[in-house]
């Protein structure tokens, strides 16, 4: 793994390895054991979109690894004055050991990686949210003890979360069922990928009830993401009925988990009652952003895997 741009680029084995490293780092942190990571590493963090979890988890994560994070707002940096992304990539590569970017277009992340000589991490684009779904998979495995053979259901917009959930789940041998209103399907590249999968089932339906049937995990996300505020009223009408509520949960397995990438709009995509009933799982999921992103940085920036797992060189 040279970069983390999207889960489509990874194999199922690579995804599981990231989760293994995340689990080991999480255990070390809770036991107060220093991480086997080279000191003094620097992470440049470019933000074109507002953030709570992404900024705090990456900045905290690189600090816990023994490095330093530098926050760069696109609006306040030379990117905001028109400097090409390829020039920013080459400059930051001279100063920093890795670059994380949270932005709109996937093409911007791909171009950044093309011109950078250090690892690039996708903190979120309109196409993919790989770090979030790695955290989701980590949380599911912690609660369920496995991934392969489980059924995951996503109800809502076919956005970056739906794209990454479908890809990550299928690559880990999970059956994936998505319920999206007409006109809000996942990206065509994701649907094409799903056709190639032979060891797990994929379903795209207009019925939340059908998608939720016998699910082990139910996901949802806000109806209007950042940059879609002007569409909010239109989207409310389109997504009527695409809510995770008691009726939907009754169709899933009795021990079904709920996952939400946050922030949550209670009363829209999820009821307050369902959210609070599953709050522990949802905030464990939020915490695991820290651990999986540390794992990604550990693997991309020279962490000592033999020392992490207690193996002799």
Is 197 in the same domain as 296? no
Question: Is 2 within a domain?
Answer: no
Is 48 in the same domain as 101? yes
- The first and second tokens of residue 146, run together, are 């496995």
Question: Is 196 within a domain?
Answer: yes
Is 202 in the same domain as 281? yes
Q: Dump pLDDT digits (tens) for 65-120.
A: 999 999 999 888 898 889 999 999 999 999 999 999 999 999 999 999 999 999 99
Is 277 in the same domain as 293? no
CATH number at residue 109: 3.40.50.1370
Q: For position 312, what pLDDT does the model report?
A: 52
Strand order in the sheet with 151-155: 202-205, 175-179, 151-155, 217-220, 257-260
Name the domain count of the chain.
Answer: 2
Closest listed residue to residue 209, CA positions, set 246, 183, 172, 264? 246
Question: Is 33 within a domain?
Answer: yes
Contact 179, 205 (CB under 8 A): yes
| Helices and strands per DSSP (H, E), number in the chain | 13, 9
The domain in which residue 148 lies consists of 132-286
Question: Is 258 within a domain?
Answer: yes
Contact 127, 104 (CB under 8 A): no
Question: For residue 186, what is the DSSP state?
Answer: P
Q: For position 187, what pLDDT does the model report?
A: 98
Is 141 in the same domain as 180? yes
Report the percentage of the chain scoring pLDDT > 90. 92
Q: Dump pLDDT digits (tens) for 107-116.
A: 999 999 999 9
Q: Is the peptide bond before 263 cis (omega within 30 degrees of 0)?
A: yes
Classify residue 298 as exposed, middle or buried by CB count within 10 Å of its CB (0-12, 13-18, 19+): buried
Contact 148, 171 (CB under 8 A): no
Is 51 in the same domain as 123? yes
Contact 153, 180 (CB under 8 A): no
Q: Residue 46 forms beta bridges with which residues? A: 72, 101
Question: Is 313 within a domain?
Answer: no
Q: For position 81, what pLDDT does the model report?
A: 86
Is 229 in the same domain as 296? no
Positions annotated as catalytic residues are: 102, 129, 132, 221, 261, 289
Sorted by sequence, the CB contacts under 8 Å of residue 234 that are 6+ apart come out as none
Q: For position 88, what pLDDT does the model report?
A: 97
Is 143 in the same domain as 277? yes
Distance CA 229, CA 46 (A): 22
Is 160 in the same domain as 72? no
Is 243 in the same domain as 192? yes
Q: For position 313, what pLDDT does the model report?
A: 42
Is 118 in the same domain as 24? yes
Question: Is 206 within a domain?
Answer: yes
Q: Dump pLDDT digits (tens) for 128-175.
A: 999 999 999 999 999 999 999 999 999 999 999 999 999 999 999 999
Distance CA 240, CA 243 (A): 7
Q: Dump pLDDT digits (tens) for 205-248.
A: 999 999 999 999 999 999 977 667 778 889 999 999 999 999 99
Using CA atoms in the order 230, 73, 104, 195, what is the torsion angle rounded to 10 degrees? -140
Is 300 in the same domain as 173? no
């Amino acid at each position: 793994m040279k970069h983390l741009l999207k889960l489509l680029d990874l194999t199922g084995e690579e995804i599981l390895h990231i989760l293994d490293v995340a689990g080991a780092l999480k255990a070390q942190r809770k036991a107060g054991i220093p991480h086997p990571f080279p000191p003094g590493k620097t992470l440049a963090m470019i933000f074109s979109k507002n953030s709570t979890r992404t900024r705090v988890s990456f900045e905290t994560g690189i600090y816990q690894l023994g490095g330093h994070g530098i926050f760069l707002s696109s609006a306040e940096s030379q990117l905001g004055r028109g400097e090409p992304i390829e020039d920013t990539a080459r400059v930051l590569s001279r100063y920093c050991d890795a670059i994380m970017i949270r932005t709109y277009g996937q093409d911007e992340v791909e171009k950044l990686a093309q011109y950078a000589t250090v690892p690039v991490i996708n903190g979120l684009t309109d196409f993919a949210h790989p770090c979030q779904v790695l955290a989701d998979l980590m949380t599911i495995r912690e609660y369920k003890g496995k991934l392969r053979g489980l059924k995951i259901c996503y109800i809502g917009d076919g956005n970056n979360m739906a794209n990454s959930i479908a890809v990550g789940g299928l690559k880990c041998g999970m059956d994936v069922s998505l319920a999206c209103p007409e006109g809000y399907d996942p990206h065509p590249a994701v649907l094409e990928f799903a056709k190639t999968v032979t060891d797990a089932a994929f379903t795209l339906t207009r019925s939340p009830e059908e998608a939720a049937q016998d699910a082990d995990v139910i996901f949802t996300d806000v109806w209007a993401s950042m940059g879609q505020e002007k569409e909010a009223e239109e989207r409310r009408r389109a997504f009527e009925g695409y809510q995770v509520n008691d009726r939907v949960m009754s169709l899933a397995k009795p021990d079904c988990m709920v996952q939400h990438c946050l922030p949550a709009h209670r009363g829209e995509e999820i009821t307050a009652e369902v959210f609070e009933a599953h709050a522990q799982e949802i905030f464990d999921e939020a915490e695991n952003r820290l651990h999986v992103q540390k794992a990604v940085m550990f693997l991309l920036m020279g962490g000592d895997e033999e020392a992490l797992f207690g193996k002799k060189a």
